[in-house]
Chain A
Amino acid sequence: MKLTSSKSGRLAMEKIGLLVLFFVIIVFFLFPVLWVLSMSFKTVPELFYVPPKLFPEHFSFDNYVQVLWMADIITFLKNSFLIVGGTIVGCILLIVPAAYGLSRFRFKGKNTLQFGILIFQMISPLIIAIPLYRYFSRLHLLNNYWSLTLVYIALSLPFACWSLKGYMDTIPYSIDEAGRIDGCSRMTILLKLLIPLIVPGMISVVILIFVRSWAQFIIPFILLNDSRMFPISVGLVNLQSTGDTITTHLLAAGCILGILPTVLIFIFLQRFIVSALTAGAVKE
């Protein structure tokens, strides 16, 4: 009796300790975003209250309407979707065959190639942006979504190729063999047999590309100087640097809108992300 009561007492203590810790974690990670959310609903006079109020007095969606129609935020968001969409399509077209090649062939130098691909992920995008700026300005390719998207694709290729290849490795080789016995070419095997099986892996990769390309800053910052072409990350920083306190509430609303797409994807498609993020880093 005594043993169980002390044990349940300890469990209760543990629970209280954990809950306190949970509370601290939630406050630290959620508060900054909630504060900006609160600011985004405030009216201009409310923003100048000293001390500030934690919550807006009445929720006004005016800022959002204003942001969408007056500031360029809606354009920035559209631009981001366009660039990221192009990146996803281009990336998938390149990594599906590459993942197949790396997963299904044995050849000399394969390990070197695989690690070579991974190295690119560790190089700061700034380094490649410097010469690309010079090339593109000479070729009149600055402020051009085609060239910009190509750079986005290149930056996404290393991790995207690695995760998809890892996923394809989990598909048993017997599938390929069955296809070959039926007389299918490699292309048919990939298109008809393997691709349907790697769809979950492709979804994870697409989400990763989306989130990382959405966040891309330095490449568009350097390769674009027409502000109407900025993606959301560059557009907001531009608004921040040109704006004064009058635009604070617009900037806050812009931040929330800029965060929203990736955060929603994250919340609804978590399980795909967690598996993709940890693939490769954790071996079971």
Chain B
Amino acid sequence: MEKGKTAKAPSSMHIFLKRVSQGPAPWLAPLVIVLVALFILPTLEVIRYSFTDASLLRQNYNYTLKSFRVIFTTPATYDILWNSLVFVFFSVVFQTLLGLIIALAVDKGERIRLHGSVFVRVVALLSWAIPGAIIGVVWSFMYTEAGTGILITILKNMGFENVSFLTNPDHAMPCTIVANVWRGTAQSMILTYAGLKTIPIDIIEASQIDGANAFQRLWRVILPSIFSVISTNIILNTINTFNTFDMIFSLTGGGPGRATEVLALTSYSTIFTGYNLGRGSAYAVVLLVINSLMAIGYFAVLRRRERN
């Protein structure tokens, strides 16, 4: 087909090529090729694997729906989904709230020229620059349960005896969430802080003159003004938290038992320690579907903002 066309009208092909070369295509092609090769194709491959009984240990495989049947009939899957939900929900709630509180405090401090405001801003953002895997190691030191541990010693001095952190299945998840809030608040804080800076100062002053108290100002003026920033922030936070692997891996490895195992960890261990590529990919597809739903939510928010 192509050849016949060229032979008939070489000049039109020439014109076509010329037009392409003057358009955006040559500028974008390298990027698009890399993204297709390293994102789109692998993503399609994972979906394909999920419909097979492939194993890392052999080359042959058959197409089957068994992986999905197994994961949706295994009770452990629902524990893991529940863990992911709990981990994401509480992390995001506290990251958003803490980010808002710190942003408001730093903003207020800067306006009344309080010493230390800038320092607080730097400290609160510091965790953003620390790799997640190292954050897990740092917090595993904090949660050391031997007498040499620091948190346990502090709690003992406050009168709490026999405290347990990561070894106790009931405490492991809250402890992991605390570490994750420590990690994720920076992102939340910086977005909220930047949002606060866009509120015109006269709006706040006007509400002050109208006699609004601090709480009314926050609820009626400040929060509505930064609503779109906060909603973007919540969605981005949710996506990041949901994809967390590094910090949990180095902090608890998903344990004790499955107490802190989230979806990404299950997918990883099913494939790389259980060698079950098909089933692990099915878990990855569940992860992918949830990621996509969140992405859709994100774009809906973006579009609404664009319209406003």
Contact = CB atoms under 8 A, between A and B. Distances in A.
Contacts of A281: 191, 194, 229, 232-233, 236
Contacts of A93: 30
Contact of B34 (A94, A122, A132): A94
A18 B77 CA distance: 45
A236 to B, nearest CB: 6
Given A25-B123, A132-B38, A240-B250, A233 B114 contact: no
A245 to B, nearest CB: 8
Contact of A259 (B130, B243, B287, B291): B130
B182 A32 contact: yes
A131 B46 contact: yes
A269 B130 CA distance: 15
Interface stretch (B2-10, B138-146, B160-168): B138-146
Secondary structure at the A interface, as helix, strand, loop or mixed, is helix
Contacts of B250: 236-237, 240
B161 to A, nearest CB: 13
Interface stretch (B68-76, B169-177, B215-223, B294-302): B294-302
Contacts of B294: 122
A211 to B, nearest CB: 6
A72 to B, nearest CB: 16
B123 A30 contact: yes
A128 B38 contact: yes
A231 to B, nearest CB: 9
B97 interface: no
A262 interface: yes
Contacts of A30: 123, 126
B295 A122 contact: yes
Interface in B119-158: 119-120, 122-134, 136-142, 146-150, 153, 156
> Which of B127, B133, B305 counts the most chain A CB atoms within 10 A?
B133
Contacts of A97: 26-28, 30-31
B271 A130 contact: yes
Contacts of B139: 32
Interface string A147-181: 00011011001100100000000000000000000
A3 interface: no
A265 interface: yes
B126 A33 contact: yes
B141 A252 contact: yes
B63 interface: no
Contacts of B122: 267, 270
Contacts of A51: 147-148, 153, 156
B264 interface: yes
B116 interface: yes
A284 B295 contact: no
Nearest to B287: A124
B87 interface: no
B190 interface: yes
B30 A126 contact: no
A26 B123 contact: yes
Contacts of A107: 23-24
Given A94-B31, A236-B134, A266-B125, A52 B46 contact: no
Contacts of A47: 148
B153 to A, nearest CB: 4
B205 to A, nearest CB: 15
A217 interface: yes
B60 interface: no
A206 interface: no
A126 B132 contact: no
Given A157-B35, A255-B137, A128 B28 contact: no
A38 B102 CA distance: 26
A278 interface: yes
Contact of B284 (A28, A126, A284): A126
B105 interface: yes
A29 B24 contact: no
B207 interface: no
13 contacts: A22-B120, A29-B185, A32-B142, A35-B142, A97-B27, A124-B264, A130-B267, A150-B34, A154-B34, A217-B133, A237-B133, A248-B141, A255-B137
Given A127-B42, A236-B137, 17 more contacts: A15-B112, A22-B120, A25-B124, A32-B138, A33-B130, A36-B141, A47-B148, A51-B148, A94-B34, A123-B288, A126-B264, A127-B46, A128-B43, A130-B267, A154-B35, A217-B131, A233-B246
Interface of B: 23-28, 30-32, 34-35, 37-39, 41-43, 45-46, 49, 56, 101-102, 105, 108-109, 112, 114, 116-117, 119-120, 122-134, 136-142, 146-150, 153, 156, 182, 185, 187, 190-191, 194-195, 198, 229, 232-233, 236, 239, 242-243, 245-246, 249-250, 264, 267-268, 271-272, 277, 280-281, 284, 287-288, 291-292, 294-295, 298-299, 305
